């Protein structure tokens, strides 16, 4: 069996969830491979080996924060949420959606280049920002330092640059009038980017990831990649799944977006392709949902155990569901 979940946001990381389920299955006599997953958002760095360096950078609201990142064999892995995440800003109620900056992400990128990285992967997701990456680019000046650097942005959404305002900024504390202001700001910024770099960020799918950070990084030669596909390739997920009896995945909320670049949808698609059954343990199911891939089963912890127990003991609930499923 392969255990390859995403995080249960706010209750359990992918690593903790995968380890708990894997340990329970091993205790029941099953042969298990544990591979926690991520799609570019929070947890991206952890599932790729975790930080082995830290840098003090500018936080989303201007305060200094200690951001962990990874450098190994010339490749740097950076998680933008470690420098400009909504959690660092205190959540949507404490965030300043207009002023929140990606400057710290740019500072991490500079640190990586100065430390000798020739390849950099930035996982984007969980951001406090809708600055179009302008803060990061200012911190990266002069951007000539990034010529010859293989820079990839691991995205978990396909949102366009300007649409990032409507789609994401309300989740970051923006009022309707602030959303309109942020959209106008992104429209102007896109014009500036095209004039200065020749890159039209409005035409690239996914450029709106992390409030437009992905689009900003396009102007210095970055390429946008699927966060799930990147992680799956790095850990050899398809090889692990092939020939498995069952794959267990999961996330906090299952909705339409889960099947559009996220972990659960990506794992389910691989399982369907390789003809391996897949079980998704999720906190809650949000309708409407697309037609499930063949061989795909889903169990909602909230529906099964109620919201109180599923929030208080998500690991115990997930383990109970998995053990029952494999026994039957």
Q: How many whole angstroms from its chain centre is CA 28?
A: 32
The verdict on 68 and 210 lying in the same domain is yes
Whether the Cβ atoms of residue 187 and residue 116 lie closer than 8 Å to each other: no
Q: Maximum distance among all alpha carbons in the chain?
A: 62
The verdict on 158 and 274 lying in the same domain is no
**Tokens for 102?**
């990606």
The verdict on 107 and 180 lying in the same domain is yes
Strand partners, 185: none
Work out how many domains the chain is built from and give that number: 2
Nearest to 100, CA basis, from 167, 193, 159, 165: 165
Other Cβ atoms within 10 Å of 240 Cβ, number: 17
Q: Which domain does 251 fall in, by range?
A: 2-37+236-327
The verdict on 180 and 119 lying in the same domain is yes
Reported pTM: 0.92
CATH value at residue 293: 3.40.50.10350
Other Cβ atoms within 10 Å of 327 Cβ, number: 7
The verdict on 106 and 169 lying in the same domain is yes
The verdict on 209 and 276 lying in the same domain is no
State residue 154's pLDDT score. 97
The verdict on 11 and 72 lying in the same domain is no
Residue 236 buriedness (CB in 10 A; 0-12 / 13-18 / 19+): exposed
Q: How far apart (Å, rounded) are the C-alpha atoms in residues 128 and 138?
A: 18
Q: How far apart (Å, rounded) are the C-alpha atoms in residues 188 and 168?
A: 18
Other Cβ atoms within 10 Å of 200 Cβ, number: 16
The verdict on 99 and 213 lying in the same domain is yes
The verdict on 130 and 75 lying in the same domain is yes
> Alpha helix (H) ranges present in the chain?
14-27, 44-47, 81-84, 103-114, 134-139, 164-168, 176-197, 209-218, 227-235, 237-241, 263-274, 301-305, 307-312, 314-327
The verdict on 33 and 48 lying in the same domain is no
Domain boundary among 228, 247, 278: 228
Domain boundary among 182, 202, 228: 228
The verdict on 252 and 210 lying in the same domain is no
pLDDT values of the chain reduced to their tens digit, one per residue, 328 residues: 999 999 998 889 999 999 999 999 999 999 999 999 999 888 999 999 999 999 999 999 999 999 999 999 999 999 999 999 999 999 999 999 999 999 999 999 999 999 999 999 999 989 999 999 999 999 999 999 999 999 999 998 999 999 999 999 999 999 999 999 999 999 999 999 999 999 999 999 999 999 999 999 999 999 999 999 999 999 999 999 998 999 999 999 999 989 988 999 999 999 999 999 999 999 999 999 999 999 999 999 999 999 999 999 999 999 999 999 998 8
Domain boundary among 228, 245, 261: 228
Q: Encode burial over 45-84: b for 16+ CB neighbours within 10 A, e otherwise.
A: bbbbeebeeebebbbbbeeebebbbbbeeebbbbbbbbbb
The verdict on 208 and 89 lying in the same domain is yes
C-alpha distance across the termini of the chain, in Å? 15
State residue 119's pLDDT score. 98
CATH value at residue 221: 3.90.1510.10
> Alpha helix (H) ranges present in 57-163?
81-84, 103-114, 134-139
């Amino acid at each position: 069996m392969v255990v390859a979940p995403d995080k249960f946001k706010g209750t359990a990381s992918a690593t903790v969830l995968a380890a708990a389920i894997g340990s329970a299955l091993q205790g029941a006599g099953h042969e298990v491979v544990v591979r926690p997953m991520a799609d570019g958002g929070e947890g991206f760095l952890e599932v790729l080996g975790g930080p082995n360096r830290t840098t003090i950078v500018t936080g989303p609201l201007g305060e200094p924060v200690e951001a962990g990142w990874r450098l190994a064999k010339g490749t740097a892995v950076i998680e933008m949420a470690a420098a400009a995440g909504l959690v660092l800003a205190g959540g949507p109620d404490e965030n300043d959606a207009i002023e929140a900056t990606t400057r710290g992400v740019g500072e991490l990128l500079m640190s990586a280049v100065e430390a000798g990285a020739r390849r950099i992967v930035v996982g984007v997701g969980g951001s406090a920002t809708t600055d179009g990456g302008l803060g990061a680019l200012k911190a990266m000046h002069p951007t000539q330092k990034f010529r010859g650097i293989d820079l990839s942005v691991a995205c978990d959404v396909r949102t366009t640059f300007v649409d990032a305002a409507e789609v994401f900024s309300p989740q970051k504390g923006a009022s309707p009038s602030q959303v309109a202001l942020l959209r106008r700001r992104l429209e102007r910024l896109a014009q500036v980017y095209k004039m200065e770099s020749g890159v039209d960020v409005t035409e690239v799918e996914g450029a709106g990831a992390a409030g437009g950070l992905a689009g900003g990084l396009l102007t210095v030669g970055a390429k946008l990649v699927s966060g799930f596909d990147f992680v799956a390739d790095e850990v050899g997920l398809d090889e692990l799944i092939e020939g498995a009896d069952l794959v267990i995945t999961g996330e906090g909320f299952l909705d339409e977006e889960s099947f559009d670049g996220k972990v659960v949808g990506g794992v389910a698609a691989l399982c369907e392709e390789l003809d391996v059954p897949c079980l998704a343990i999720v906190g809650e199911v949000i309708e409407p949902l697309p037609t499930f891939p063949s061989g795909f089963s889903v169990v909602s912890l909230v529906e099964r155990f109620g919201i109180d127990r599923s929030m208080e003991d998500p690991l115990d609930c997930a383990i109970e569901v998995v053990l029952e499923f494999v026994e039957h």
